[in-house]
Amino acid sequence: MSIKIKGLSKTYGKKPVLQELNLTIEKGQCYCLLGKNGVGKSTFLNCILDLVKPDAGSVNLLDKNYSQHGYEIKQNLGALCEDNPLIEEFTGLEYLNFVAKLYRLPTAEANERISSLTKYFFSDQESLQKNMAGYSTGMKKKVGIAAAILHKPDVLLLDEPFTGLDPIAAQLLVQLIRSYRNANRIILISSHDLNYVERVATHIGVLNDGQMMYNGSVEEFTMNGKNLIDQALFQLLLPHHNPEANIDWMLT
Ligand SMILES: Nc1ncnc2c1ncn2[C@@H]1O[C@H](COP(=O)(O)OP(=O)(O)OP(=O)(O)O)[C@@H](O)[C@H]1O
């Protein structure tokens, strides 16, 4: 069971975002994709989700490809997209029930899972009876996460899952990701929240200029824990940042 990416390329207009990327993510891994703003992390995840069509290359999930087995792949794939699209006219509970129906979960099982996930993430259960249009960013994010894992997919893709969560919810998500990973599934995360990445990652990918600047275990990335992930990332990326940037005008 794996995600296999071969020769994946994507250009928007004249801007090459992904250039012949090759990558394999195995079960039991929590692969965290890091990189500067606009470097192509969401584009990469969206190619794996079949939401963005790559110009070249192939995505193989769980030994299947989209052209022949799109339906089966999507049944076994859960995702939280960066813009976290929800149907905001629905209450949180209505939405989760709707998602459960899409995945054809038996009613009793759906009720049990929705109840346990909402109890896990929401101390205020009453809010789940209200329309999501009135939810805060973090509340929407928690509903989006619950919707992504409701059908217990073997592959879970989370784009910026920690952004907007309060520290309690973020810690609960860390625990959930660890348990999910330990159950031998595949988790792929794009995140700038390195404190949380530190707690969940088994593998790290650093995307820069269309290429994987680093792709390997977290141990190797941090030199067996001698560095924190943020230190290792700065060492890798800072030399590529604009050295002439100067904001001294603010000081006078
Ligand atoms: N639909 C689109 N049309 C044109 N350009 C796009 C489109 N989507 C993304 N881009 C461009 O592709 C590049 C990569 O965007 P992407 O959102 O994948 O980056 P990212 O690494 O996820 O960024 P961030 O960390 O800021 O969320 C950016 O330059 C962005 O402007």
Taking only the tens place, the pLDDT of each residue in 173-222 is 999 999 999 999 999 999 999 999 999 999 999 999 999 999 999 999 99
- Decide: 35 in ligand 1 pocket, CB within 6 A: yes
- Residue 124: what pLDDT? 86
- Decide: 14 in ligand 1 pocket, CB within 6 A: no
Q: Which domains does the chain have, with CATH numbers?
A: 1-76+157-241 (3.40.50.300), 86-152 (no CATH)
Its ipTM equals 0.98
Better pLDDT: 191 or 243: 191
CA 37 to ligand 1 center in whole angstroms: 8
The number of beta carbons lying within 10 Å of the beta carbon of residue 23 is 19
Q: Tell me: pLDDT of 1 over 90.
A: no
Nearest atom in ligand 1 to 207's CA: 21
Q: Tell me: pLDDT of 240 over 80.
A: no
Residue appearing with tokens 């090459």: 16
Dig out the tokens for 153 from the structure: 């997919």
- Residue 60: what pLDDT? 94
Which residues face 157 on adjacent strands?
A: 79, 188
247 confidence band (pLDDT: 50, 70, 90): confident
- Decide: 17 in ligand 1 pocket, CB within 6 A: yes
Nearest atom in ligand 1 to 52's CA: 1
Residue 159 CA, distance from chain mean position: 3
Q: Tell me: pLDDT of 245 over 90.
A: no
- Residue 213: what pLDDT? 95
